[in-house]
Structures are given as structure tokens and as C-alpha cells.
């Protein structure tokens, strides 16, 4: 099981954004250069972050993005949800009554994977952007 770049980049970019400025907008170009992430790809990611009210945008020269919430209220869960980085351990569909084996009952390891999923999600729920930037704020270069 692995983390995809989309989720990794989203968190990276938001940490960068939060560290560098909390009032003035930060352009994706700057983030792209500092973190070495493709600008085009960042645009796709920020489009989703914006739809989920995690950031807001300011167009035009000197524009960019700003956090739309207090860093303490932005959990990794929220970020991952926004960019569709899902934690999926069970094979079966959650809504379905059927197990992944096509039978009426859940498979013999279903509960295990469910437990694992909760274990992982608890990590994401407890970690906020604020936790990640503590003592690491920087001033604009």
C-alpha cells in the first residue's frame, strides 16, 4: 500500500503555503519552484482544495492562494478527502451487504482490514496543518 503523489503534493503545498505567509497570497509558481512540483499538476490539486473550501484564490497580478481556515482546523483527513486520496483497505463495497467473495457474509478478513482502515484514518484525523508548521514559520523571501 502506498501514498500517491496527489495526496503527498497537496499536503506539501499547503505546508509551504502556511509556512510562508498567512496573509498575503502565495502563487502556485512559487510553491512549484520551492517544492519542485509541476505547476500544471498543482493547478489541478488547488482546484480541488478550493472547491472544498480549504483555500481561497485571488486572481490577477500579485494573486495566489490563501488558507481559508485556521491551520488548526485543517486536518490531513480534510486535505486527503478534498483531493480524493482515499484509504481503501477492504475489497467489498461498504454499502453492499455482500462480501468481497460474492457471498452473503463478509469475508474472513473483512474485520481486520476495517480495523486497519480505522487505524490509519485516526492518524489523519488527529494531525492538523498547525502541527506541521509549528516552529517552522518563515518570512517571505
Partner DNA sequence: CCATACCTGACTAAATTGGTCAAGTATAGA
Partner DNA sequence: TCTATACTTGACCAATTTAGTCAGGTATGG
By CB under 7 A, is residue 57 in contact with DNA?
A: yes
Could you tell which of DNA, its own copies, ligand FES, none binds residue 106, using a CB distance below 5 to 8 A set by kind?
ligand FES
Residue 122 host element (H or E): helix 110-126
Is 22 an interacting residue with respect to its own copies (CB under 8 A)? no
Strands 55-58 and 64-67: what pairing? antiparallel
Contact call for residue 28 and DNA (CB under 7 A): yes
What residues between 2 and 21 interact with DNA by CB under 7 A? Answer: 2, 4-6
The nearer residue to ligand FES, 50 or 110, going by C-beta atoms, is 110
Query: Taking CB under 6 A as the criterion, which residues in 72-111 touch ligand FES?
Result: 90-92, 99-100, 106-107, 110
Instruction: Decide: residue 10, CB within 10 A, 0-12 exposed, 13-18 middle, 19+ buried.
Output: buried
Cβ atoms 15, 133 nearer than 8 A: yes
DSSP labels, 34-68? HHT--HHHHHHHHHHHHHTTSEEEE-STT-EEEES
Contacting DNA (CB under 7 A), which of 11, 20, 64, 67? 64
Q: Which does 19 bind (CB under 5 to 8 A by kind): DNA, its own copies, ligand FES, none?
A: its own copies
Amino acid at each position: 500500500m502506498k501514498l500517491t503523489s496527489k495526496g503527498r503534493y497537496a499536503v506539501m503545498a499547503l505546508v509551504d503555503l502556511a509556512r510562508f505567509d498567512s496573509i498575503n497570497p502565495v502563487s502556485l509558481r512559487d510553491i512549484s519552484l520551492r517544492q519542485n512540483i509541476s505547476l500544471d499538476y498543482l493547478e489541478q490539486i488547488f482546484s480541488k482544495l478550493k472547491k472544498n473550501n480549504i483555500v481561497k484564490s485571488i486572481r490577477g497580478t500579485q494573486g495566489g492562494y490563501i488558507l481559508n481556515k485556521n491551520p488548526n482546523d485543517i486536518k490531513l483527513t480534510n486535505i486527503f478527502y478534498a483531493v480524493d486520496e482515499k484509504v481503501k483497505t477492504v475489497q467489498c463495497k461498504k454499502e453492499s451487504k455482500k462480501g468481497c467473495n460474492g457471498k452473503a457474509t463478509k469475508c474472513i478478513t473483512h474485520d481486520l482490514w476495517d480495523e486497519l482502515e480505522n487505524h490509519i484514518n485516526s492518524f489523519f484525523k488527529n494531525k492538523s496543518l498547525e502541527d506541521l508548521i509549528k516552529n517552522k514559520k518563515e518570512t517571505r523571501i
